Structure formats: C-alpha cells, structure tokens
A and B are shown apart, each in its own frame.
Chain A
Amino acid sequence: MEHKGINLTLKVWRQQNTNTAGEFVTYQVKDISQEMSFLEMFDVLNEQLIQEDKEPIAFDHDCREGICGMCSMYIDGKPHGPWQANTTCQLHMRAFNDGDTITVEPWRAQAFPVLKDLVVDRTSFDRIIQAGGYVSVNTGNAVDGNSLPINKNDADASFAAAMCIGCGACVAACKNSSAMLFLSAKVSHLALLPQGEPERQSRVMNMVAQMDKEGFGACTNTGACEATCPKEISLSNIARLNQEYLLASLTSN
C-alpha cells in the first residue's frame, strides 16, 4: 500500500453548548496518511489542539466499524461524507486529495439540537421507538422459533429494513428534516414479520404521531435519505409505511 501524506484545511463547526451560538473555525492538518480513517484524522487534529492548549473538538463516535450509528459528521455537504453506503468512521482519507478544504458540520435539525461542536442529541429517535417500535412480548412467553415458518423473501426484506443503525443521516440529508426513512425502516421491519402483526396498526399511527411531536418534517419523497443512508435502506420502506398508515387510518376505530 502506498503511504501518501496529504495536507488539508478543515472548517469545523465549534459550539460550546446548546444554548450558545456556534461558528466555523479553520484548522490546518499536515501529513495525513491516506490510510487513516476520517475520525483518525480528527484524532490527530485533537492531539494537535491539546498540545496547543486549545480545547479538542467534541464528536460522537464509538464502534468505528460502521455499525453502532454513533458517528455523525456532515462532511462537505453530505452526511457521512462523499462515499456511498458509508459511515463517517469508515470514510478513509483516500477519498481526499492534498490541499483539499473540508467543511464539517453537525447534523442540522430542530429535533437534533447540538450539544457541543459536532455532537447532537438524537434521543428523539429513542422516543419514536418507545412509541411503538417493538413487539410486545415478555421474556418467557415465546413459542419455539421454528413453529412459525416465515417466507424467506419477507424475512430478508425485514432484515434489510432492520439493518438501520439509527444514525440520523436520513434526517440530516432531508431538506425537510424528516425522520421518515428511520421510521419506515422500523415499521417495515416489524410489519413484514408475523410477530409484528398484532400491533401493526397502533404501531404505525403512534410512531408517526411521535415523529411529528418531536419536530421532524414531513416526507416529500425526494430520495435524499436513501442516497445517503449508510445501510442503503430503501425508499420503498416509506411507501410501505404510507400504506400501513392509510390502512390503519381507514380501518381503525
């Protein structure tokens, strides 16, 4: 592998906390290996800031292998940066060239207030799940796992929706700051399985109501969410949610 060091200019959003105004601050980083991940480049920058007696940049991250959904940078106008089907932690510096200027912003949405620098509060997603994103089954109530065969295609489609990592990139990318892709992934995951059937109607209605309450926008099917989703959750899940909602609203009491 080629080890090329590149120099970059970073414009990073800095904000002390939710109640203060933020601003962009420009930093220079030198000799960044293209083998590094984007977050490792931030580690280098933070180490540099600590040595300069400045406060390092706060950013969310945890697993650094693209599955926990914690990392959340809006890089050069795209959530999780330029690569397709990717998370910030898996973005590597091969994606950039020597001399590039990179602008890094937090997710921007009313329902995701900035906590500090690039860290936002996504507990609204947890509350949407609380509104109905589960199967009400207490531990110990289950029957044998093979007692209910499930069509493989349905199981696969359900899995494809369940892959959502709850990172919020869909909201960040959406011009309406809508959480519809997130919501629809959960609704589809459970609607496609027989286990989700009993609560099918209440689930979709309650989850939509919670999404509205949290201050997310309405979906206009632009497809920006699907294009930026690290797990390539399909837009057709939104259509499925719409169907679920329509049927529920027509048939519920």
Chain B
Amino acid sequence: MTWKEVFTSSVGKKLVMSFTGIFLILFLIVHVGLNACIWANDGGTMFNAGAHFMGNNVVPRILEIGLFAGLILHIVQGLMLELSNRSKRGSVGYAVSYSKGSKWYSRSMGLLGTIILLFLILHLYNFWLPNRANQGFLLGEEINLYAKMQDVFSNLWVVIIYVLGCISLGYHLAHGFQSAFRTIGVHNKRYNAIFTTLGYGFSVIVPLAFALMPLSFHFGWVN
C-alpha cells in the first residue's frame, strides 16, 4: 500500500483528522496555560512575558508554522469529509431522521467546526494579525497583547462571539477528544473509559478557561 493510498482511504482521512486533532489539543493546553497568566493579577506582566517568549523566540515561531499547517489540514480535510459523507446518503434522504443513538454534537462536528473557524478568523484578526504585522512577520517588536485584550474585550459583542466560540469548541472537543483516540485504535475498554472521561473533563475545563478571559476583562475581574 502506498502512502497516498493510506491517507486517501476513508480510514486514512480519519487518521489525518485524528493526528491533527490531537496536535491541536496539545496546542490548546499550551494556549490555555499562557492565557491563565492573566489571573496573576499583576497588570499583565506575567502574561506579556509568556506572550513575548511565544512571539519572539525562534522555536515557538517555527512550531507556529506546524500549527498552521495542522490547523489548515484539519479544516480542509474536515470540510471535505463532511461534504463527501453527506453525499453518501444518495439522492433521496430520510423523511424522518434518526436522532436517537448518537449525540447531537457527534453528528454536528462539521457545523461546530465551522463556527469555531469563523470565531478563529475573528480571533486571529483581533490579536495575531496586528501583532505579527507589527513584527513585520519576523521577530520584530511586539504590541502589548494584554492592553490589546483590554481594548478588544471592552466590546460586549466580541465577548459574546468569543463565548459562543468557546461553547462550540467545548462540544467539538466532547466528541473529538475521545473519537481521536478511537481512530488511532484505542479499543481496550479500560483505556477507552479513561479517554472518554478525560475528554469530557478537557472539553469542559479548557473552553471554560478560555471563555473566562473575555468575561474577566469585560467585567473587570482582573486588573
């Protein structure tokens, strides 16, 4: 079997989704860890130090390229799979659709992913793009991201969109986390139970932590 055959088969495509998904989950851990620095309540000193490291060190910046590659692969492959899978029902669909037996969010990964994508575009536009532009997309001078956050999150609408984005992320993860491990072949009952529990925990805690940021700034829970 050639590599092309491996990755273009239905299982191979799923493996791509799984590997990139797990990679993005790891990224979320880094991201949420850094974000949590705002609650140091030191006027953003700690947060900005972390942000500076991520933005100004060559290692994370190279990893960033990988992150984008993974992200784009996950998005493109995901959308293509969704479209392809939808076409497999044939020309006539069901009059009464089957809703028992699976969770709504498991069936709506495409939709949730699309909402997350829209949120992501806004998010990049809010922070990443102005910062990198300021840096000349190299290792140049950064903007004060803490101050930028205070500015952006003063707008209630932005906060609402961010919270919605985080809720979508939560549900996306509720299915995606355990599904990713099933896809790479975890079939042992005990491990599956661990990954399922871990997945639910992750999908609640991490998005909640993310959502608390804009809320904290908007309602002045940090100073």
Contact = CB atoms under 8 A, between A and B. Distances in A.
A–B in direct contact per CB < 8 Å: yes
B135 interface: no
B166 to A, nearest CB: 22
B13 to A, nearest CB: 6
A211 interface: yes
Dominant SS at the A interface?
mixed
B178 to A, nearest CB: 8
B187 A220 contact: no
A216 B89 CA distance: 8
Contacts of A212: 9-10
Given A109-B90, A178-B10, A227-B100, A218 B186 contact: no
A24 B185 CA distance: 42
B185 A239 contact: yes
Interface in B88-121: 88-90, 92-103, 106-107, 109
A223 B103 CA distance: 8
Contacts of A176: 85-86, 88
Contact of A111 (B88, B99, B101, B188): B88
B192 interface: yes
Contacts of A224: 98, 101-102, 107
B76 interface: no
B177 to A, nearest CB: 11
B89 A77 contact: no
A97 interface: no
A111 B101 CA distance: 22
A182 to B, nearest CB: 13
A220 B94 contact: no
A239 B10 contact: no
Nearest to B93: A108
A180 B184 CA distance: 15
B48 interface: no
Contact of A178 (B85, B94, B103): B85
Interface string B9-32: 111111100000000000000000
A250 to B, nearest CB: 9
Given A103-B95, A242-B182, A243-B185, A218 B1 contact: no
Contacts of B87: 110
A240 B185 contact: yes
B169 to A, nearest CB: 18
Given A103-B95, A109-B89, A176-B85, A220 B179 contact: yes
Nearest to B101: A227
Given A77-B99, A78-B100, A108 B94 contact: yes
Contacts of B186: 239, 243
A125 interface: no
B11 A245 contact: yes
A237 interface: yes
B88 A221 contact: no
Interface string A73-101: 01011110000000000000000000000
Given A177-B88, A221-B179, A79 B98 contact: yes
8 contacts: A105-B96, A209-B5, A219-B14, A220-B109, A236-B192, A239-B187, A242-B182, A242-B184
Given A215-B88, A237-B187, 13 more contacts: A11-B95, A77-B99, A108-B93, A110-B90, A178-B88, A205-B1, A218-B11, A218-B85, A220-B179, A223-B102, A236-B192, A242-B185, A243-B186
Interface of B: 1, 5-6, 9-15, 81, 84-90, 92-103, 106-107, 109, 175, 178-179, 182-189, 192
Interface of A: 11, 22, 24, 74, 76-79, 103, 105, 108-113, 172-173, 175-178, 180, 205, 208-209, 211-212, 215-224, 226-228, 235-249, 252
